[in-house]
Amino acid sequence: MSKFDLETLRHSTSHILAQAVMEIFPGVKLGIGPSTDDGFYYDFDLPQAITPEDLPKIEKAMKDICKKNQKFERQEVSKEEAIRLFEEKGEKYKVEILNEIDSDKVSLYRNGDFVDLCRGPHVDFTGRIKAFKLLSIAGAYWRGIETNPMMQRIYGAAFPTKDELEAYLTNLEEAKKRDHRKLGKELDLFSLHEEAGAGLVYYHPKGAMLRSLIEDFMKKENLKRGYEQVYIPHIAKIDLWNTSGHTNYYRENMYFMKIDEQEYVVKPMNCPGHILIYGRKTRSYRDLPIRYFEFGTVYRYEKSGVLHGLLRVRGFTQDDAHIFCREDQLEGEIIQTLDFIAFVMKTFGFDFKINLSTRPESFAGTADNWDKAIAILEKALQDRGLPFEIDPGAGVFYGPKIDVKLKDSLGRAWQGPTVQVDFNLPQRFNLNYIGEDGKQKTPVMVHRAILGSLERFIGALIEHYGGAFPFWLAPTQVSILPVSDRHNDYAEKVSAQLKEAGIRVEVDSRRETIGAKIRNAQMQKVPYMLIVGDKEEQAGTVAIRSREKGEIGVKSIQDFSFDLRPEMRYNS
């Protein structure tokens, strides 16, 4: 089934959901009901709360509607006639939508006694819909505006066949087990605190270790590729953001403050700061390309309703970099960046897919420069043989971009790396270099993040591995489990030797049974457990248990440490 046909099926299922809710709950007012990537939802304004216990009843009513095999009939009417119809029904939200439509004619869809305002298309008959499941209920402000009424949103999944639906539901259950918010708490990685502010992440020691390992890896790889590390402040006067255009194009996402009667902005992006560093002195064509990178923390306003663990936050850190180059160097820099992305994704175990995001309706700079930038990005992707899809109008205001979506072990896509070509900001900030002909020229700027947001990347990483990180990334690599208190000293001796070898170790010296200690280490997803008792202490050995393989056997501390060397390398 094509993407278009699948969207049609799912949108048709949302109409059947609305029809069923109207049959069961008199007085309901309808919002909207689009298709989604996996199914559909519909928003309802109800005098009573829908509960999870209501979903089977609604689902049964939907199945009854499907069995009746009602025909979906399109009817084109005047806008005025449609307004009268929905006013008579008391459907104020439909009337609101109609009043904003700039057309004399609108389309309605009917099946049975149910009628809805809709562009369509729909399947021919309700009987075509055979595999769906209602999943959850959530609150949603009408049209996403917090001052509007709160509606009840019912989510569902729909597929062409029951087998596809069952496979999706199985995947969904696995995804629940891997939820990074759940695992973040269980593995003691991070927390969020409403009393300190929504969307702000607090890394615990183990989470901080995971993040540090990622940062250390990325720092090493950036330096290897000719990048220079910089640091910039977290705030800057508004003048800087006026020059960059952010106050015009990005204002609703920015935080403002006043200091000594001067307006400042908490930085939403790092690029203006890197531009200031570049612009501090005269550059020659021989100096280019210049590549700056930093782990830059930025702050952007997100509505509270869309905040989601590490995946959608208000404060996050990017592995941000900006390349200042000549136009003749641009394609080469983009190709090198694409190679860097492919290397990093392979290292962390992700497949990926690529979108090329083109010019939005509201943009800075000239259309000619945008077209040139898009063509260069497209050619670089083609030269590397990387398949991609065009995402029309999804570029940022200053330039087009390559968007890379990580594909995890469950086949889900996560926003990750970006590569953006920018002719605009260097012109706005009057950046230049002296060309080979002795004349001043304007450099081109490449905005580049390999991981994207560290928070989002870590969230995706947790779910990809289900918290069972590969050895080189595990915050705790080895847990030493003394059989009783009298073996604690030997456990500490083993720990010291392993730490000397660069292995991250913890000793579980709690007064628990060895079985309880093993279960705890297994739940904490520690790659290796070393059990030490009388025999091991006398022989100077350890009994080894693997997270994946169970009991491995007994080895000397030195042999165990030596055998771990291949796993300690990130490219093992």
Domain coordinates of the chain in residue numbers?
Answer: 3-178, 192-232+267-465, 471-568
Mean pLDDT score of the chain: 94
* 204 labelled catalytic: no
Structure tokens at 73: 């009939």
State the average pLDDT over residues 287-310: 94
Active-site annotation holder among 318, 336, 420, 477: 318
Q: Is 271 annotated as a binding residue?
A: yes
Helix-strand-coil split of the chain, %, nearest 5: 40, 30, 30
* 447 labelled catalytic: yes
Looking at residue 399, its pLDDT comes to 86
Terminal-to-terminal C-alpha distance of the chain: 40
* 320 labelled catalytic: yes
Same fold, 192-232+267-465 and 471-568: no
- CB burial of 479-508 (b: ≥16 within 10 Å; e: otherwise) equals bbbbbeeebbebbeebbeebeeeebbbbbb
Active-site annotation holder among 206, 267, 300, 464: 300
Which pLDDT band holds residue 77 (cuts at 50, 70, 90)?
Answer: very high
Active-site annotation holder among 447, 464, 517, 545: 447
* 308 labelled catalytic: no
Active-site annotation holder among 66, 118, 271, 325: 271
For residue 84, the 8-state DSSP code is: H
Structure tokens at 404: 């890379």
CATH of 192-232+267-465, one of 3.30.930.10, 3.30.479.20, 3.40.50.300, 3.40.50.2300: 3.30.930.10
pTM, whole model, 2 decimals?
A: 0.85
pLDDT more than 70, % of the chain = 99
Looking at residue 429, its pLDDT comes to 96
Q: Is 447 annotated as a binding residue?
A: yes
* 246 labelled catalytic: no
Residue 571 pLDDT > 80: no
CATH 3.40.50.800 for domain 471-568: yes
* 351 labelled catalytic: no
Structure tokens at 105: 């004619």
Looking at residue 572, its pLDDT comes to 45
Looking at residue 242, its pLDDT comes to 95
Answer whether the bond into residue 52 is a cis peptide, omega within 30°.
no
Which pLDDT band holds residue 542 (cuts at 50, 70, 90)?
Answer: very high
Least confident span in 30-44, 395-409, 538-552: 395-409
* 303 labelled catalytic: no
Spelled out in words, what is the top-level CATH class assigned to the domain 3-178? alpha beta
